[in-house]
């Protein structure tokens, strides 16, 4: 029953317009990370290039360009974090700096050194340590290429109690499009806005950093300063007064919507269990009437639960969103509950 999950997401939708957002801060996701890697590869010294080639080029494709190898590495950590084995790495991709702060402070924001800022330093040290194995240094370089991208995404460095903008919903442009959360807006839409094809985007970015590059190239690596810089961009450009107002007004409803989501998930889990038992009965060749009884029970359970949760979702939705064309979809869902056949 994915529809109900969607409905509770829609309950959070607000029509916050993004009339103006700074083009000074550019953000990531897959393409963003690849753009960072592409540009970085163009600025390497020949010696650094040689080293990277040794570390990153796979044995079965020794001749791919350094740029290609770096672009491939750039998106790897986001794939890994989805795997159970690498679950603990998920929090390394960002740092939670509350909007009320002035900037990054290690003791306050990353005391366990498990955030993007400290991980950059950590992996930098492994990368330059020649006594480490090739495997360790390759992993360090892969994380570095990725994390330097993440730390420059403003919303990976700022938080307003909304998991870095993940709980604030915005409509882009005329406000009629599919709503997206603020974090994703900076991950994806800001990258899309740079240009059309990858090479067009790279060209735009290249020209933007051209003048700064000479001054920047001898600056020390300072992830703390990068985090503060990104944090300030988030504070001044992403968290507009409209966004802050939205959060203040809807915070409670969003909390409720989270509760509804949990409930829906629980119902779905229970239903899965019931279905498993029915399959077992079928396998053991129980009588048709016995199986039918169990199916009816499961169906009644499902409908009664979904109906309650659905009403709650619609109540929140009515309160937070007034757009009729969206609302109709969920009223339809409510009406169709009676005809739902989960089995
Ligand atoms: Zn990441």
Tell me: the pLDDT tens digits for 100-135?
999 999 999 999 999 999 999 999 999 999 999 999
Residue 77 Cα to ligand 1 middle (Å): 6
298 within 8 A of 342, measured Cβ to Cβ: yes
Question: According to the model, what pLDDT value does residue 23 have?
Answer: 30
Measured distance between the N- and C-terminal CA atoms of the chain, rounded to whole angstroms? 11
The domain at 9-239 falls in which architecture? Orthogonal Bundle (1.10)
Residue 47 Cα to ligand 1 middle (Å): 28
Residue 80 Cα to ligand 1 middle (Å): 10
Residue 265 Cα to ligand 1 middle (Å): 26
Question: According to the model, what pLDDT value does residue 312 have?
Answer: 65
Q: Which residues pair with 98 in a beta bridge?
A: 159
Residue 231 Cα to ligand 1 middle (Å): 16
Label residue 279 exposed, middle or buried (CB < 10 Å: 0-12, 13-18, 19+).
exposed
Two tokens at 3?
Answer: 């529809």
pTM over 0.75: no
Two tokens at 327?
Answer: 């609302």
Q: Residue 57 — φ and ψ, nearest 5°?
A: -65, 125
Residue 78 Cα to ligand 1 middle (Å): 5
Residue 187 Cα to ligand 1 middle (Å): 10
Residue 51 Cα to ligand 1 middle (Å): 24
Question: According to the model, what pLDDT value does residue 90 have?
Answer: 93
| Owner of token pair 């999950």 | 5
Strands (E), the chain: 169-170, 180-181
Label residue 330 exposed, middle or buried (CB < 10 Å: 0-12, 13-18, 19+).
buried
Residue 40 CA to residue 30 CA, distance in Å, equals 16
Residue 117 Cα to ligand 1 middle (Å): 12
Residue 314 CA to residue 331 CA, distance in Å, equals 8
Two tokens at 330?
Answer: 């969920």
Question: According to the model, what pLDDT value does residue 133 have?
Answer: 95
CA distances from 169 to 94, 285, 335 (A): 20, 50, 26
| Owner of token pair 């600025």 | 43
Residue 103 Cα to ligand 1 middle (Å): 20
Q: Residue 171 — φ and ψ, nearest 5°?
A: -105, 140
Residue 55 Cα to ligand 1 middle (Å): 21
Residue 26 CA to residue 270 CA, distance in Å, equals 43
The H-or-E segment that residue 337 falls in is: none
Residue 227 Cα to ligand 1 middle (Å): 14
Residue 30 Cα to ligand 1 middle (Å): 9
Residue 230 Cα to ligand 1 middle (Å): 15
Q: Pick out the chain residues at pLDDT < 50.
A: 1-27, 321-343
Residue 147 Cα to ligand 1 middle (Å): 6
Question: According to the model, what pLDDT value does residue 134 have?
Answer: 93
Residue 305 Cα to ligand 1 middle (Å): 37
148 within 8 A of 250, measured Cβ to Cβ: no
Radius of gyration of the chain, Cα coordinates, nearest whole angstrom: 25
């Amino acid at each position: 029953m994915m529809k109900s999950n969607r409905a509770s997401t829609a309950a959070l939708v607000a029509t916050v317009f993004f009339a103006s957002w700074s083009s000074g801060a550019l953000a990531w996701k897959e393409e963003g990370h690849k753009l960072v890697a592409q540009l970085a590869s163009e600025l390497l010294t020949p010696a650094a290039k040689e080293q990277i080639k040794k570390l990153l080029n796979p044995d079965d494709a020794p001749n791919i360009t350094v740029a290609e190898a770096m672009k491939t590495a750039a998106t790897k950590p986001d794939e890994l974090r989805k795997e159970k084995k690498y679950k603990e790495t998920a929090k390394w991709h960002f740092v939670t700096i509350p909007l009320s702060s002035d900037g990054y402070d290690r003791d306050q924001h990353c005391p366990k050194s498990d955030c993007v800022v400290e991980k950059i330093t950590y992996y930098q040290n492994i990368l330059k340590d020649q006594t480490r194995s090739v495997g360790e240094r390759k992993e360090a370089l892969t994380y570095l290429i990725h994390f330097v991208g993440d730390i420059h995404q403003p919303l990976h460095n700022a938080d307003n109690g909304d998991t870095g903008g993940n709980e604030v919903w915005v409509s882009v442009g005329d406000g009629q499009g599919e709503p997206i959360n603020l974090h994703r807006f900076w991950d994806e839409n800001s990258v899309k806005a740079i240009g059309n094809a990858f090479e067009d985007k790279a060209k735009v970015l290249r020209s933007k950093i051209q003048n700064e590059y000479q001054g920047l190239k001898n600056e020390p690596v300072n992830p703390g300063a990068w985090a503060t810089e990104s944090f300030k961009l988030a504070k001044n450009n992403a968290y507009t007064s409209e966004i802050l107002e939205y959060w203040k007004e809807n915070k409670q409803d969003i909390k409720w919507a989270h509760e509804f989501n949990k409930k829906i998930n629980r119902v779905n889990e229970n239903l899965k269990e019931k279905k498993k038992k029915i399959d077992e009965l079928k396998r053991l060749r129980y009588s048709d009437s016995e199986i039918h009884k169990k199916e009816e029970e499961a169906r009644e359970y499902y409908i009664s639960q979904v109906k309650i949760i659905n009403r709650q979702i619609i109540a929140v939705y009515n309160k937070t969103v007034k757009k009729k064309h969206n609302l109709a979809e969920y009223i339809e869902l409510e009406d169709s509950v009676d005809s739902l056949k989960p089995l």
